Structure 1
């Protein structure tokens, strides 16, 4: 939109009901603080400036909200005297002059750009106040929106509503847009003549009407206005977010056998024709290219999986794992900060960390890259078309050349040239009859202990 807009994000609550050592809005949904979700929706609604009204953990909240595509300013609300008082904590920002003032909450991470744009459009159409509301089957406890002939007459709290008004299912979601030219004047007229002595933003509707202005309501889905006050509500919000994102991915061409068991992060990117089996968890920073298969019970974070690659079952990809096209990381394998070349196979019971694995190389079962000396991490480099036998330990820093073969059970501490065979194990010896002698000795020792 061409109109200028300042969003005021109310995030100064004490978060008492969360029973937490940190601010409520710092609690994550889909792997990032809920206030970051709110700010992203502001950006998607073409809003380039926002004022954060902060209290507890102010610096941490401001850091969590920060991003490059929106200008943020922070204001501290030292007293808690209601929503109207909270908005005026950002008086300095409002006074800069904007066409639209949009008031949102830092604990509504499910909000999308659509209702915010609808509220802004309501101001563009000549209204002075636009309240974002929702329809609900159970309006108990919510303020009712009294609408007549398209105009919003008032927001009636349940305790003040008549019997007929209590039957209204159109409720106040708390989010509101205000004509920027009138915002400070209208906010300044909100009084505190109520039982709590607080300044309620909802009073602005009747104030603007008394001054000859116009207020309306726009509707948003109930789920988008869901706020968070405790851990149970946080879990419910997470479930809604996950269901919504799973649906978006499946519609875009991703197959999920049991979608309710797949958990995504806010930035998970998955291409078409990817198959995800049950019980898979994606942490932040994961990209899956088209045609890949993520088998059951795998955990991925900070990883890139190339086209046609296969992961799991029971695989863990940690940050920096980069799987090339048609590669494979199999069951009970862990990959961390490692490049797995195209067509390479890391099939089972293996740890690959701080490593480069060439194309079409085969890593046998039980192989580990010994990358940590107790102080520093070191690199293992394995060329293309190499074969690493099962139960091998590669002690970094070390290199294995193209086409080389490492015998099973080897401990490799020196570089292996291309096309060489490396044996790093003791020669096998056979001691005929010794098994019987040892067994008899052990049985005698056991019998002696019982006496």
Structure 2
């Protein structure tokens, strides 16, 4: 053993390589869902995808996902994210050590730090994982991620020596009163030197109450080999594991808090941060102002100096610099607003390009359309884009003016600078600079109202 692990006894490894094993074989019965636990979403993205993204940010040499045979779709999903991900199957599940054993063939020939993560612990940061790998680089055989919870309860305790190195992981059910008083707990996330892992993983046994192979037993094996084990500490929110819908909501809250802080640190103003909700891929520019109760679905990009007013909902939309949205606006996938465009209250935009400086200010639906620069769409205007079978396009030229309560029956084109009279139903193209009026001619019957009222009074 001494020769094999000499690099762990004082020497510092240079440019350590990393590999990542993500454990995703649990059944997640407490979720009470037909959807596998790790496929439940936080910020619009599956938990396992968050973990894969974080691991991938470290550019690991290998990335392995260990799944159970009850949920092959998890492996398919991981492969969709990155075809180079290896998928191993643990069947039946026999503990964390057994799960990593299933991943070992995919790690054959690898040398460096092996990070072991959990697909239901989606908030661990890349900085924390780098710190764990650095401990392996600096000579530790095992580095464990610890945290100090408000209620240590059933968590395993981390015992340290006088220098802060990890002595042992003591399960709560096996701990003495003094050991239960320890507040530093085991998250399960760890980094392991590959040479040590290859040599000692199969020495883990299942001689315990559950008959399972515990990866944490590697700490005792390393100490027996006179090797150093390290601890990296994280905040409790970072190692939050999700086993129930309640914990999923807690993880969502933490994710949203991180996003809010990131957005504000990058130069946006949130009038009421707690009421604004982001997706994992939301992109917000500088000097953007966001009002209360705004929801960003997937695929939203907001340009600099834009304003998103209260109670607006955006999804799959791109907003240009200086544009103004809302209040109470809904932007659906394919909505694109140019510079200084305006979409006002109770307006819905879907798969439509709104040009620079164009205005759709009130109570309108614009779908499957191109609206030219500086056009003005009056209140109550709709594009009639669907006939029950197909979707059709409406084109409104630059500088056009569409009067209130108009219906534009697609496919139809309103030329540059044209006017549409209020209340019109437009079924034919309107040439540039023309006025189109398509409504019944107004007529008056003298005295009719007075005679009507008198007849009702008899």
Report deviation, 1:222: 1.6
Matches within 5 A, 1:21-420: 21-55=34-68, 58-66=71-79, 71-148=84-161, 149-420=163-434
Structure 1 residue 70: deviation in Å?
A: 7.8
Report the equivalent of 1:4.
17
Deviations 1:307-327 (A, max 9, x none): 110000000000010000101
Distance in 2 between residues matched to 1:21 and 1:436, nearest whole Å? 67
**Which sections of structure 1, spanning at least 5 residues, go unmatched?**
445-451
Moved more, 77-86 or 279-288: 77-86
- On the 8 A contact 1:50/1:70 being kept in 2, the answer is no
Deviates more, 1:92-101 or 1:273-282: 92-101
C-alpha contact 1:386 1:403 (8 A) present in aligned 2: yes
Is the partner of 1:164 in helix, strand or coil? helix
Q: Are the aligned partners of 2:69 and 2:90 in contact in 1 as well (CA < 8 Å)?
A: no
Q: Once the two structures are superposed, what CA deviation does each residue of 1:255-287 show, in whole Å capped at 9, x if it has no partner? A: 011100000000111111111010000001001
Q: 1-side partners of 2:31 and 2:231: how far apart?
A: 31
Q: Distance in 1 between matches of 2:199 and 2:454?
A: 98
Deviation, structure 1 residue 440: 6.8
1:181-219 deviation per Cα after TM superposition (whole angstroms, max 9, x unaligned): 221322111111111111111111001211232211111
Q: Give, in whole Å, the separation in 2 of the partners of 1:355 and 1:239.
A: 37
TM-score by length of 2: 0.93
**8 Å Cα contact 2:69-2:91 kept in structure 1:** no
Figure out how many residues of one structure are paired with residues of the other and give that number. 444
- What's 1:447 paired with? none
Change beyond 3 A, Cα 1:117–1:443? farther
Alpha-carbon distance between aligned partners in 1 of 2:425 and 2:73, rounded to the nearest angstrom: 47
Contact 1:345/1:363, CA 8 A, preserved across alignment: yes
* TM score, norm. by length of structure 1: 0.95
Contact 2:297 2:315 in 1 (8 A): yes
Q: Residues 204 and 442 (structure 1 numbering): CA distance in 2 closer, same or farther, change over 3 Å?
A: farther
Q: What CA distance in whole angstroms lies between the structure 1 residues aligned with 2:450 and 2:205?
A: 96
The structure-2 alpha-carbon separation of the partners of 1:75 and 1:319, relative to structure 1 and needing over 3 Å to count, comes to same
How far 1:252 moved relative to its partner? 1.5
Give me the CA root mean square deviation: 1.7
How far apart in 2 are the matches of 1:353 and 1:140? 55
Structure-1 residue corresponding to 2:4? none
Question: Which runs of 5 or more structure 2 residues have no equivalent in the other structure?
Answer: 1-13
With over 3 angstroms needed to count, the CA separation of the structure-2 counterparts of 1:209 and 1:427, relative to structure 1, is same
